[in-house]
Amino acid sequence: MKILLVEDNQQVAQFVRKGLTEAGHAVDHADNGRDGLFMASSEVYDALILDRMLPGGVDGLGIIEALRRTGNKTPILILSALADVDERIRGLKAGGDDYLTKPFAFGELEARLMALTRRGQNSGQETALKVGDLTLDILSRKAMRGGKTISFKPREYKLLEYLMRHAGQVVTRTMLLENVWDYHFDPQTNVIDVHISNLRQKIDAGFDKPLLHTVRGAGYRLSENA
């Protein structure tokens, strides 16, 4: 994927750039708002990563607003040291697609970026989701694996649906908490891990090949391949 990173802090920029390049992405970097806006509007990118506070007369929100006004729909991940709920809402209202507070783990950034860029792909009107031999029927809210029908509690279903819609991608605990539970805070203990292990009991127990994998230091991934 081709990604534009607009970030004035050299240390952070280098860290993100290195990580994304190693993951096989092409990364362009601008260290001020004016250059960032110019590059974002003159070239086609798969995703933008924007810092909010930037030198160069145009800040992150300014870039987003300018791009959205011209009909540019490139997915945008906002990076910011401003952690207030209000700031987050402002960022998303301006047209950002996701908001990540500094400091962040690279795994979190990558997972969110991937979730953004593939979001459009399977949000269609399909009635069933499929990963390996696991099929989730959206209408009956039941899953089938190896001829066995599995039923879920409402939240388990939502959790599995989210994981299946992001099949093959790493999904972090924070992403699950935000998207499955709609909570935007740190629940301190490993509550999500316990939910995941319950889900794992239901879909993986008794089968040779596990589908729900733990990605160390990042989160979880649902996929056929380990």
Partner 1 sequence: MPKFLRSTASRLALVFAGLFMMAALLLAGLLWWNTAGYLDRETDAVITADTRAIGDRIEDFGLAGAVQTMNERIAADADNRGIYLLTDPRLRPLGGNVDAWPLKVGPRPGWYEVELVHRDRLHMARLLHVTLPGNYQLLVGRDVQDRVEMRNLFLRGLAWAGVAALGFAFFGAWLIRRAVERRIEGINRTAIAIVQGDLARRVPMRDADDEFDQLVATINRMLDQIQQLIEGVRNVSNAIAHDLRTPLAETRARLEGLLRQPAGTDVSLDGIAAAIADIDRLIGVFNALLRLAELDTGLRRAGFAQVDVAALVEDAAELYGPAAEVKGLRLDSQAEGGLVLNGDRQLLAQAIGNLLDNAVKYTPAGGRIVLNAVRQEDCRIAISVADSGPGIPEDERTRVTQRFYRGDASRHAEGVGLGLSLVEAVARLHGGELRLDGNNPGLRAILALPAQA
Binding site for partner 1 (CB under 8 A): 83-86, 103, 105, 155, 181, 183-191, 194-195, 198, 217
* Buried-state track 148-157, b at ≥16 Cβ within 10 A, e below 16: eeeebeeebb
Q: Between residues 3 and 180, which has the closer beta carbon with respect to partner 1? A: 180
Residue among 10, 49, 12, 11 at smallest CA distance from 28: 49
* Distance in Å, CB of 86 to partner 1, minimum: 7
Q: Between residues 121 and 188, which has the closer beta carbon with respect to partner 1? A: 188
* Distance in Å, CB of 52 to partner 1, minimum: 16
Number of residues that make up the chain: 226
Cα–Cα distances in angstroms (integers) from residue 17 to residues 4, 33, 45, 216, in the given order: 10, 17, 15, 21
Helix axes 154-165, 173-180, angle to 10 degrees: 120
* Distance in Å, CB of 179 to partner 1, minimum: 14
Q: Between residues 45 and 157, which has the closer beta carbon with respect to partner 1? A: 157
* Distance in Å, CB of 148 to partner 1, minimum: 22
Q: Between residues 23 and 194, which has the closer beta carbon with respect to partner 1? A: 194
